[in-house]
Copies of this chain bind each other. A is one copy, B any other.
Amino acid sequence: MIVTLKPGSDVAAAKSRLAGLGLWIDSVERSALGEVHLVVGRASTRVESATIEGLPEVLAVSQSGNNRPRMEAQGPRVEVRAGLAIDGAEPVLMAGPCSVESESQIHRIARKVRASGARLLRGGAFKPRTSPYDFQGYGKDAATWLRSAADAEGLAVVTEVMSEADVPLISNVADMLQVGSRNMQNFALLKAVGRAGRPVLLKRSMSATVDEWLHAGEYLLVHGASGVVFCERGIRGFDPSTRNLLDLGAVALIAKVFGMPVVVDPSHAAGRRDLVIPLAKAALAAGAAGLLIEVHDEPENAKSDGAQSVMPQALLGLGFVNEVQS
């Protein structure tokens, strides 16, 4: 935003008045003819341009157009299925194993996470793995087991789709389709997933700015997705102390300033079980509308991500249920 001042205005007074509204000036640009333009950098809050135009020193306010019209129009609420929405009013717990490892495993864990207050069951049928020699998921079978386990417990399903070719299969079993971090800017996949017309959980790429992330959401909506929920899971950092670097500033920004739905995956951020619950609580405090947590009842035998999977009972510490149900 550029605020142009009336000729002869007191620049310092104008800057102070704008700051009083929560608009902070990055630079003052002057022309040879003496025109003064203030370039607004950080804004402490959203301000209508009419308010700015009302200030005594201000001649005009210039702005660029909205380049993410559909994301801006969506608002804070995304319906996952009838009776279940992510809207920030009440946080939603999504939990389950990293990988769906067997029919009995997913049924067992589904029951436990439901008892801890989860409303969605997560679990990978197709797994993105750094090495081609690592376990790649049980695919179609796993997808079927996941659906049946969720149905048995009255849970909705969120699971990752990794290939354009798998969109029909995953659409059949999932209420919400997940696009993983490594595919956040896989535009062919975004288009294919969008065309399925479903709600999408869009994980942030390890190197994406918030702006790039929201643009990826725009791809989904343009191509037909019924809604986009953002999921922060930690970005790439320089410190090996934690697996990834959880960016709760971005979460607060999206939730509190942009008014868009955003949830947090503390499991991938932490990479270690003992930090998952503190980071989950922090995420809710920062404004997250939900949590996506990896849970396993035998993490030492998990086929993937055992180090960061919590035991089902650990979820109780989050307070989604008042006491254990079974």
Contact = CB atoms under 8 A, between A and B. Distances in A.
Given A19-B307, A248-B248, A287-B278, A236 B207 contact: yes
B249 A275 contact: yes
Contact of A45 (B2, B65, B255, B274): B274
Q: How many copies does the complex hold?
A: 4
A215 B130 CA distance: 6
Interface in A30-45: 30-33, 35-37, 39, 42-45
A126 to B, nearest CB: 8
Nearest to A207: B207
Contacts of A29: 1-2, 62-64
A247 B237 contact: yes
A249 to B, nearest CB: 4
Contacts of A300: 16-20
A113 interface: no
9 contacts: A36-B62, A44-B274, A131-B215, A164-B165, A182-B205, A188-B189, A242-B250, A256-B274, A282-B286
A42 B275 contact: no
Contact of A183 (B27, B65, B186, B239): B186
A187 interface: yes
Interface of A: 1-2, 4, 16-20, 22, 24, 27-33, 35-37, 39, 42-45, 49, 53, 60-65, 67-68, 128-133, 162-166, 182-189, 205-207, 209-212, 215, 218-219, 222-223, 234-250, 252-253, 255-257, 269-275, 278-279, 281-287, 299-301, 306-308
Contacts of A62: 29-31, 35-37
A207 B206 CA distance: 6
Given A188-B163, A239-B210, A60 B33 contact: yes
A203 to B, nearest CB: 12
Contacts of A64: 27-30
Contacts of A242: 247, 249-250, 253
B185 A282 contact: no
A31 to B, nearest CB: 4
A35 B65 CA distance: 14
Nearest first, the 5 closest Cβ-Cβ pairs linking A and B are A163-B188, A207-B207, A19-B300, A182-B185, A29-B62
A240 B37 CA distance: 22
A188 B215 contact: no
A16 B189 CA distance: 33
Given A2-B37, A44-B274, A131-B218, 15 more contacts: A19-B307, A24-B306, A29-B63, A128-B185, A132-B215, A164-B188, A182-B187, A206-B207, A210-B241, A249-B269, A252-B278, A252-B282, A257-B275, A282-B283, A285-B285
